[in-house]
C-alpha cells in the first residue's frame, strides 16, 4: 500500500471505529471524529465529565469534570501532525523516559507518543464513568521502531473518565528475555497561574536536578515554581497534590516511585516553537514515572502496571 492509500485508510477508519466502538446512551456519548492533521480523536461525554483523546499516542487532550475548567493544559500553539508529539495533554513516554540510554538519535521519551494506538474496547460503567482501552504491539510497528525496541512488547492503556481520571499503563513482556522499561505519564496540568501554585507531597525527597547537571539534591518544603524547574524526584510512591487558589488536584499512583516536575519558565519556553505566548504561566507537568533508578525490569512473560488517579 502506498503512503497516499495508507493516509486514506486512516481517514476512512473513522466509520469503522464508530461502528465498532461508539456509545450513544442516555448518559454517555462516545464518538470518533477526524481531528486536526487528519488524526482520529475520540470524544467522550458522560454525566460526570467530558474528554478527548487522540489515537496518535493515545494522547489525552482534555479532561473536564462537570462544572470545572479543563484539568489538562493544551498549548494554544500545539500542532497536530502524523508522527509528531503534541505540546500539552498527557503524552505517554514509553518504552524509555528522557534521552535513550545508548543512542542519542532515538526520540526523547520513546516513540509511543508519536504512533497510532489501536482501540480495543469501550465500556459504559455503571457508576456513570466511561472506559476506553488502547493497545500498542511493538512488533506491528514500522521497521524503524522495531530497530529501536526489538523485544516483542505490548503496551495496554486503560482510561477511565469521570469525576476522577484513572489511567493504567500496562507493559507485557512477550519476549523470552527480561526487558527494562522507563516511562511516564507526562501530564500537563492546567494551573491557570503558576505564581500561586505549589506541589505538596515531595517534602524531604531526593531529586535529580536536570537544570544543574542532574545533581542530587533534597526538597526541603513544598515545591514552588519561580524559575525553570526540571527535576526527577525519587522515592515518591505517596500522593502528590497540586494546590493553588483555583483548586487542588490530587495524584494517587501505584507502580511508580519517581515523579518528574517540569516547567520550562520564560527563557526556555521562548525557545520552544509550540508552548504558546506565556504558556509556561498556565501549565505545570507533574509526571508519574518510572525514571532514573526507578526504571523497571520485567521478566519474560511478566507485566508491569503504572496506575495513576487524578482527583480534584
Catalytic hit among 100, 109, 186, 304: 186
CB closer to ligand TA6, 25 vs 79: 79
Q: Please report where in the chains the cell 467522550 appears, as a residue.
A: 44
Q: Please report where in the chains the cell 504561566 appears, as a residue.
A: 281
Show the binding pattern over residues 275-304: x = contacts ligand TA6 (CB under 6 A), - = does not.
Answer: ----------x-x-----------------
d(CA 189, CA 163) in angstroms, rounded, equals: 16
Of 88-107, binders to ligand TA6 (CB under 6 A) are 98
CB closer to ligand TA6, 161 vs 285: 285
The answer to whether residue 45 forms part of the interface with ligand TA6 (CB under 6 A) is no
- Whole-angstrom CA distances from 174 to 99, 109, 154, 179, 305 are 24, 21, 7, 10, 15
Q: Please report where in the chains the cell 505517596 appears, as a residue.
A: 238
Size of the site for ligand TA6 (CB under 6 A): 11
Q: Which of 262, 284, 306, 312 binds ligand TA6 (CB under 6 A)?
A: 262
Cell of 104: 542519542
d(CA 149, CA 234) in angstroms, rounded, equals: 26
Which residue has its beta carbon closest to ligand TA6? Answer: 262
Of 104-123, binders to ligand TA6 (CB under 6 A) are 108-109
Of 60-89, binders to ligand TA6 (CB under 6 A) are 85
Question: Measured in Å, how far apart are the chain's first and last C-alpha atoms?
Answer: 47
Of 224-243, binders to ligand TA6 (CB under 6 A) are 230
Residue 132: closest CA among 113, 118, 150, 153: 118
DSSP string, 279-292: GGGTEEEEEEEE-G
Show the binding pattern over residues 159-178: x = contacts ligand TA6 (CB under 6 A), - = does not.
Answer: --------------------
Q: Which residues are catalytic?
A: 186, 287
Amino acid at each position: 500500500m502506498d503512503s497516499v492509500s495508507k493516509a486514506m485508510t486512516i481517514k476512512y477508519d473513522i466509520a469503522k471505529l464508530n461502528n465498532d466502538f461508539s456509545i450513544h446512551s442516555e448518559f454517555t456519548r462516545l464518538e470518533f471524529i477526524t481531528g486536526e492533521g487528519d488524526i482520529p480523536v475520540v470524544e467522550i461525554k458522560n454525566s460526570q465529565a467530558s474528554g478527548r483523546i487522540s489515537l496518535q499516542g493515545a494522547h489525552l487532550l482534555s479532561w473536564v469534570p462537570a462544572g470545572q475548567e479543563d484539568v489538562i493544559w493544551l498549548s494554544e500553539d500545539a500542532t497536530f501532525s502524523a508522527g509528531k508529539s503534541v505540546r500539552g495533554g498527557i503524552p505517554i513516554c514509553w518504552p524509555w523516559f528522557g534521552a535513550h540510554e545508548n543512542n542519542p538519535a532515538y526520540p526523547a521519551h520513546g516513540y509511543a507518543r508519536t504512533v497510532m494506538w489501536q482501540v480495543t474496547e469501550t465500556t459504559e460503567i455503571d457508576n456513570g464513568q466511561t472506559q476506553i482501552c488502547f493497545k500498542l504491539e511493538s512488533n506491528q510497528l514500522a521497521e524503524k521502531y522495531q530497530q529501536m525496541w526489538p523485544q516483542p512488547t505490548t503496551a495496554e492503556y486503560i482510561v477511565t473518565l469521570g469525576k476522577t481520571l484513572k489511567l493504567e499503563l500496562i507493559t507485557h513482556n512477550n519476549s523470552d528475555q527480561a526487558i527494562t522499561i522507563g516511562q511516564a505519564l507526562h501530564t500537563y496540568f492546567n494551573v491557570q497561574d503558576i505564581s500561586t501554585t505549589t506541589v505538596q507531597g515531595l517534602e524531604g525527597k531526593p531529586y535529580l536536578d536536570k537544570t544543574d547537571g542532574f545533581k542530587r539534591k533534597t526538597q526541603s518544603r513544598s515545591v514552588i515554581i519561580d524559575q525553570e524547574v526540571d527535576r526527577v524526584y525519587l522515592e515518591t510512591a505517596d500522593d502528590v497534590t497540586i494546590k493553588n487558589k483555583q483548586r487542588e488536584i490530587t495524584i494517587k499512583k501505584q507502580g511508580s516511585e519517581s515523579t518528574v516536575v517540569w516547567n520550562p519558565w520564560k527563557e526556555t519556553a521562548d525557545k520552544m516553537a509550540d508552548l504558546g505566548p506565556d504558556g509556561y504561566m498556565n501549565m505545570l507537568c507533574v509526571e508519574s514515572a518510572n525514571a532514573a533508578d526507578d526504571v523497571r525490569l520485567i521478566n519474560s512473560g511478566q507485566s508491569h502496571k503504572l496506575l495513576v488517579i487524578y482527583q480534584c
